[in-house]
């Protein structure tokens, strides 16, 4: 029935369709547009094609539709999903001459309100959800006094909140996996649906293979799936209330994957990442140590000696395998300058390029980190242990000493704006042209003549080495042209799966604009991370904040996304130091790390850190451990959060943290419900939170208690063989589970 010529490589990402004109870049889906014979869309939409761009105008008459791309008489379907945006008007009236607003709806990028007599106003079109915001009145942040709804921003002030009601979960269709056989799959509809869409690969399955009867969706597995090592069935449903969760079912040569040992390191959804800063991880070869000899550099900002050989040594020791990691993320290893750059006032210091983010070469391995042969050995040994290796890649800028800056000055943006002001650290209003510092020229990746050679340079790393992907630095500061060109080259020239994850601070809409079949696989979800830090670190912050946040992210990125969910990173103070109060939320965490010794003050913080790791390991997406967070290493912001990794002489709390993190990773990797299961919140209170994941007969219930008291929590119906993994007391009465949890603890209950 299906003769797949792979017109679309990878599962086609859904298009969120807005009323009006929608621009679709066909190269996000089709590598070779000459193979595209024709295009059909729902009849109510008008279409105009201009080369690689397709313009669809109108409004979808139903929640779900399809854009069909035809090749040799066969339609490849791209899901269309109707957006559910509302017009929201924000107004201000009062004594101010300059009125702006910033919030989660515009990536906290201040925008001016329009004035009409004594009133100011601005319109936004927003999806259902909660959005924090503040006014900027004559340069000062102020809460909206006309809006009584507000939340603590965690930094000593309050943000106003817009709440746009989400669809009623009691009316919205929800799909659960039910059972399967050799040839068939059965799903349950927990509420009725008027529309059901089922796809195998990028083919819309018709009513000969999909039967919807009452609360049941019966799917016949395509016989052609037997010829595919890995393919997927995807399902959505909709009714008058809106669109359901999505279901993703992996097939292994046409059979439903039913055991975790059927997954390999190439299954992107099954990854658990570990990020280390190479210079601060392990010194495997002291003879290549070469700190910068400049007295203006504080020792914390100089090279420590960690290297590629040190990472390989820990691979050989079995550290990562024992921890359960299956993807290593290396900080940049390209050649960096030998001198001192930048300034910090207290204490006065300059910096070395120990972190790797100041390239003076885009292809040469920095000799202080190692050699080409050592990198090849690291990758080979990692692969022998079924561990991926992805490389942190810097495309946005080079260091001013890079020969490219002198050879092609026209390839770079200007350090000065037309008004004469410095174009540095203009993260939002000049995000595609800003320099990060005066010694870091920004490549103008809006120009095709720059994008071509720069994407070729990125390709060098995956073609020269057997790397498995990239973590891309500063993604939102790079034009979409670059991401499309790079992904096209990757898919056209590299046969193995390549994972690409980006770094963008901003609204979910902005973050999502970089994630599609033709660009990045995912990005780090800093919006959820920020809410998770507040929720788990601070006793007074309700779980409803985090529950709303993960619900909002799933609405944007899907129930089976490849977003990164982090325990921390190199640009934030350590979570555990917020959790124990040694770093305050309303202070300069960078200054704190420079000016005082930050150590653990309250050992309850270890429990809070483990709870954060448990959260990351049990939600949809890709969990990421920042080196040191498996033991609870403390620290302020950069560079205090980049201490040398410790492997031995750990105290009892650190040993327990590492053992518990290991157990959490094992649970994640051995339980398909935590990789491909659906996500459903059972209950949320200020201090307790219960949610579950389910994949066919495999169910996991996750329960958190962030109070200082032991609590008893109802967790819903229990049907099957039950196992508590963290020694909590569970009793079942009339098939209803009741769990007793100690203070500051969690439980993961597996049911089969």
Give residue 699's region: left, alpha or beta (phi > 0; psi -120 to 50).
beta
Mean pLDDT of the chain: 96
Q: Are residues 418 and 385 in the same domain?
A: no
Q: List the CATH number of the domain containing 732.
A: 2.60.40.1180
**Does pLDDT of 104 surpass 90?**
no
Identify whether the C-beta of residue 26 lies closer than 8 Å to the C-beta of residue 66: no
**The whole model's pTM is what?**
0.96
pLDDT band at 437 (very low <50, low <70, confident <90, very high): very high
- Per-residue pLDDT, averaged over 271-277, amounts to 98
Q: So what's the pLDDT on residue 722?
A: 93
Domain total of the chain: 5
Identify whether the C-beta of residue 310 lies closer than 8 Å to the C-beta of residue 330: no
For residue range 459-513, list pLDDT tens digits in order. Answer: 999 999 999 999 999 999 999 999 999 999 999 999 999 999 999 998 899 999 9
- Per-residue pLDDT, averaged over 195-209, amounts to 97
**Does pLDDT of 618 surpass 80?**
yes
- Per-residue pLDDT, averaged over 81-91, amounts to 93
Six token digits for residue 531: 């809410």
For residue range 38-72, list pLDDT tens digits in order. Answer: 999 999 999 999 999 999 999 999 999 999 999 99
- Give Rg (Cα) of the chain: 26
Among candidate residues 670, 696, 719, the one where a domain is terminated? 670
pLDDT band at 719 (very low <50, low <70, confident <90, very high): confident
Q: Examine residue 106 and state whether it is found in any structural domain, yes or no.
A: yes
Domain that holds residue 714: 679-751
pLDDT band at 3 (very low <50, low <70, confident <90, very high): confident
Q: So what's the pLDDT on residue 1?
A: 72
Q: Examine residue 175 and state whether it is found in any structural domain, yes or no.
A: no
Q: Are residues 425 and 515 in the same domain?
A: no
Report CA dihedral (273, 279, 284, 285) to the nearest 10 degrees. 150
pLDDT band at 109 (very low <50, low <70, confident <90, very high): confident
Report CA dihedral (278, 281, 284, 286) to the nearest 10 degrees. 80
**Does pLDDT of 615 surpass 80?**
yes
For residue range 381-407, list pLDDT tens digits in order. Answer: 999 999 999 999 999 999 999 999 999
Q: Are residues 562 and 616 in the same domain?
A: yes
- Per-residue pLDDT, averaged over 612-639, amounts to 98
Q: So what's the pLDDT on residue 129?
A: 86
Identify whether the C-beta of residue 196 lies closer than 8 Å to the C-beta of residue 79: no
**Does pLDDT of 33 surpass 90?**
yes
Q: So what's the pLDDT on residue 183?
A: 97
For residues 359 and 570, give the distance between their C-alpha atoms in angstroms, rounded to a whole number: 18
**Does pLDDT of 635 surpass 80?**
yes
For residue range 147-194, list pLDDT tens digits in order. Answer: 999 988 877 789 999 999 999 989 999 999 999 999 999 999 999 999
**Does pLDDT of 448 surpass 80?**
yes
- Per-residue pLDDT, averaged over 269-278, amounts to 98
Percent over 90 (pLDDT), the chain: 93
Among candidate residues 670, 697, 731, the one where a domain is terminated? 670
For residue range 214-256, list pLDDT tens digits in order. Answer: 999 999 999 999 999 999 999 999 999 999 999 999 999 999 9
pLDDT band at 4 (very low <50, low <70, confident <90, very high): confident
Q: So what's the pLDDT on residue 151?
A: 87
For residue range 562-588, list pLDDT tens digits in order. Answer: 999 999 999 999 999 999 999 999 999
Q: Are residues 591 and 704 in the same domain?
A: no
Give Cα separations from 544 to 4, 66, 156, 157 (angstroms). 45, 35, 20, 19
Q: Are residues 589 and 698 in the same domain?
A: no
Q: Are residues 407 and 540 in the same domain?
A: no
Look at residue 496 and give its three-state secondary structure.
coil
For residue range 520-532, list pLDDT tens digits in order. Answer: 999 999 999 999 9
pLDDT band at 108 (very low <50, low <70, confident <90, very high): confident
- Across-strand partners of 500? 470
Q: Are residues 524 and 662 in the same domain?
A: yes
pLDDT band at 604 (very low <50, low <70, confident <90, very high): very high
Q: Examine residue 603 and state whether it is found in any structural domain, yes or no.
A: yes
Among candidate residues 127, 144, 164, the one where a domain is terminated? 164
Q: So what's the pLDDT on residue 251?
A: 98
Q: Are residues 430 and 571 in the same domain?
A: no
576 phi and psi angles, rounded to 5 deg: -65, -25
Identify whether the C-beta of residue 593 lies closer than 8 Å to the C-beta of residue 585: no
Q: Are residues 571 and 604 in the same domain?
A: yes
**Does pLDDT of 120 surpass 90?**
yes
Q: Are residues 458 and 336 in the same domain?
A: yes
Q: So what's the pLDDT on residue 613?
A: 98
């Amino acid at each position: 029935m299906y003769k797949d010529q792979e017109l679309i490589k990878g599962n086609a990402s859904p298009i969120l369709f807005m009323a009006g004109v929608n621009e679709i870049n066909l190269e996000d889906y089709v590598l070779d547009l000459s193979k595209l014979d024709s295009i059909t869309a729902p009849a109510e939409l008008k279409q105009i094609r201009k080369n690689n761009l397709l313009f669809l105008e109108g409004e979808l008459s139903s929640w779900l539709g399809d854009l069909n791309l035809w090749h040799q008489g066969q339609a490849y379907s791209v899901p269309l999903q109707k957006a559910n945006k509302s017009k929201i008007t924000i107004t201000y009236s009062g004594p101010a001459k300059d009125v702006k607003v910033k919030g989660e709806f515009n990536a906290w990028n201040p925008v001016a309100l329009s004035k009409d007599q004594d009133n100011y106003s601005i319109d936004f079109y927003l999806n259902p959800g909660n959005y924090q915001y503040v006014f900027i009145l004559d340069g000062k942040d102020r809460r909206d006094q006309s809006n009584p709804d507000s939340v603590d921003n965690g930094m000593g002030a309050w943000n106003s909140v817009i709440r746009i009601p989400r669809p009623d979960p009691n009316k919205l269709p929800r799909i659960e996996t039910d059972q399967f056989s050799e040839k068939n799959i059965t799903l349950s509809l927990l509420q009725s649906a008027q529309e059901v869409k089922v796809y195998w690969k990028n083919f819309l399955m018709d009513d000969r293979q999909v039967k919807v009867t009452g609360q049941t969706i019966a799917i016949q597995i395509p016989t052609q799936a037997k010829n595919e090592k890995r393919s997927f069935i995807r399902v959505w449903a909709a009714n008058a209330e809106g669109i359901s969760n999505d279901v993703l079912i992996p097939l292994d040569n046409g059979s439903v994957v039913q055991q975790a040992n059927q997954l390999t390191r190439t299954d992107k959804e099954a990854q658990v990442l570990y990020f280390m800063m190479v210079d601060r991880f392990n010194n495997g070869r002291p003879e290549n140590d070469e700190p910068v000899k400049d007295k203006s550099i504080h020792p914390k900002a100089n090279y420590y000696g960690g290297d590629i050989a040190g990472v390989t040594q820990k691979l050989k020791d079995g550290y990562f395998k024992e921890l359960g990691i299956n993807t290593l993320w290396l900080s940049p290893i390209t050649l960096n300058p030998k001198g001192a750059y930048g300034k910090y006032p207290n204490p006065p210091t300059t910096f070395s390029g120990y972190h790797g983010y100041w390239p003076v070469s885009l292809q040469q391995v920095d000799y202080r980190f190692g050699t080409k042969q050592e990198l090849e050995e690291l990758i080979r040994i990692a692969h022998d242990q079924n561990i991926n290796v992805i490389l942190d890649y810097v495309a946005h800028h080079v260091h001013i000493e890079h020969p490219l800056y002198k050879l092609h000055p026209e390839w770079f943006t200007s350090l000065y704006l037309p008004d004469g002001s410095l174009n540095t650290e203009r993260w939002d209003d000049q995000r595609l042209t800003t320099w990060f510092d005066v010694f870091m020229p920004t490549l103008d990746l809006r120009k095709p003549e720059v994008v071509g050679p720069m994407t070729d340079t990125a390709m060098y790393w995956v073609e020269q080495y057997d790397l498995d992907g990239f973590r891309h630095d500063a993604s939102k500061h790079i034009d979409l042209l670059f991401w499309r060109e790079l992904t096209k080259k990757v898919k056209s020239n590299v046969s193995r799966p390549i994972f690409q994850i980006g770094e963008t601070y901003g609204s979910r809409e902005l973050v999502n604009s970089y994630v599609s079949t033709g660009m990045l696989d995912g990005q780090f979800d800093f919006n959820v991370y920020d809410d998770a830090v507040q929720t788990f670190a601070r006793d007074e912050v309700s779980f409803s904040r985090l529950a709303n946040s993960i619900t909002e992210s799933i609405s944007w990125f899907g129930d089976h996304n490849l977003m990164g969910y982090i325990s921390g990173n190199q640009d934030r103070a350590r979570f555990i130091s917020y959790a124990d109060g040694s770093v305050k939320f309303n202070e300069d965490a960078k200054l704190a790390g420079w000016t005082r010794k930050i150590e653990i003050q309250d050992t309850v913080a270890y429990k809070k850190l483990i709870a954060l790791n448990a959260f990351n390991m049990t939600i949809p997406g890709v969990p990421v451990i920042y080196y040191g967070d498996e033991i609870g290493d403390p620290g302020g912001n950069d560079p205090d959060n980049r201490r040398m990794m410790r492997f031995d002489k750990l105290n009892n709390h650190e040993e327990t943290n590492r053992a518990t993190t290991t157990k959490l990773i094992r649970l994640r990797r051995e339980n398909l419900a935590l990789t491909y299961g659906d996500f459903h919140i059972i209950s949320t209170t200020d201090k307790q939170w219960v949610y579950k994941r389910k994949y066919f007969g495999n169910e996991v219930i996750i329960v958190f208690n962030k109070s200082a008291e032991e609590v008893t929590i109802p967790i819903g119906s229990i049907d099957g063989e039950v196992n508590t993994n963290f020694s909590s007391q569970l009793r079942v009465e009339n098939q209803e589970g009741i769990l007793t949890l100690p203070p500051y603890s969690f439980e993961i209950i597996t049911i089969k």
